[in-house]
Amino acid sequence: MSTALITGASSGIGQAFAQELAARQTNLVLVARSAEKLHQLAQELQLQHNIQIEVIVKDLTEPNAAADVFDITKTKGLTVDLLINNAGFGDYGDFAEREGERQVKMLQLNVLALVDLTHKFLPLMRQRHSGSIINVSSIAAFQPIPYLSVYAASKAFVLSFSEALWAENRKYGVRVLVVCPGPTETNFFTEARFPTAFTGKTSKISTSEEVVNDALKALAKGDSTVVSGSFLSKIITNMPRFLPRETLVRILASQFKA
């Protein structure tokens, strides 16, 4: 039986990954800050599917957090066959007016923790000539987004980084996929502190389960990238090919200005 480690597993897309993989008889390592939510989810999935679940309560923005998670898996003798780097958050608003510490924490979680965890688990997968990594990005990765400047930039990093690793690791039998969801039914908009009126501007909202389904199908095919969401989401990811960058950014600024 294989084992998947999922960050940000207590809600949203991370929770949906946990539920789907548990149904497929995959053992789980669930990582997030919320002890109560993690333990409740673990208990429910163990009862429903009779699998082994380890819970690691950890804030991945803390120093050495990724190393702590890795060391716990080693101590418990766990082999991580699938690493899902899902944890992340956004912050809406004019960059110059936002809290600086929050911007730094966003990069620590969305980028640094993801890179650190990948670097710790990937060499072991290469040694075994098996394993998979799913990194959760966003359709925001495909262009700069005013008023979501740091978030979009962090997700652009995840997209570029993941596609490069896909190419580097094919010969080792390790699959790397980046999934780029459009607007999804999670607490993203609340956590990012979007104005209430803004959520009405979004295109069709996908469920977390739809994102997970798209990701796992793409991983099975060996794809490097999958855009999950409505047809409009797929159009948005291709807009930079057809519009001058300054024109595109001006359009997005008008769309994202509350």
Does the pLDDT value for residue 232 go beyond 90? no
> Strands across the sheet with 3-7, in order?
53-57, 27-32, 3-7, 82-85, 132-136, 175-181, 225-228
At 176-210, the pLDDT tens digits run 999 999 988 877 777 777 776 665 555 578 899 99
For residue 255, pLDDT beyond 90: no
Q: Which residue has the higher pLDDT, 159 or 184?
A: 159
d(CA 87, CA 110): 7
CATH superfamily of 3-256: NAD(P)-binding Rossmann-like Domain (3.40.50.720)
Residues in Cβ contact with 251 at an 8 Å cutoff, skipping those fewer than 6 apart: 243
- Tell me the two tokens of residue 45: 């999935």
Per-residue pLDDT reduced to its tens digit, 55-72: 999 999 999 999 999 999
Q: Is the dihedral of CA 36, 61, 135, 233 positive or negative?
A: positive
Phi, psi of 77 (to 5 degrees): 70, 30
- Mean local confidence (pLDDT), 232-240: 74
Residues 86 and 114: their CA atoms lie apart, in Å, by: 8
Residue numbers annotated as active site: 151
User: For residue 28, what are the contacts with CB-CB under 8 A and spacing of at least 6?
Assistant: 3, 4, 5, 6, 9, 18, 21, 22, 42, 45, 51, 52, 53, 54
How many other C-beta atoms lie within 10 A of the C-beta of residue 229? 23
Instruction: Note the pLDDT tens digit of each residue in 126-158.
Output: 999 999 999 999 999 999 999 999 999 999 999
Residue 190: the pLDDT is 77
pLDDT in tens, 122-134: 999 999 999 999 9
pLDDT at residue 243 is higher than 90: no
How far is 8 from 60, CA to CA, in rounded Å? 9
Give residue 171's pLDDT: 97
Give the per-residue pLDDT at 86. 98
Tell which phi-psi region holds residue 189, choosing left (phi > 0), alpha (psi between -120 and 50) or beta. alpha
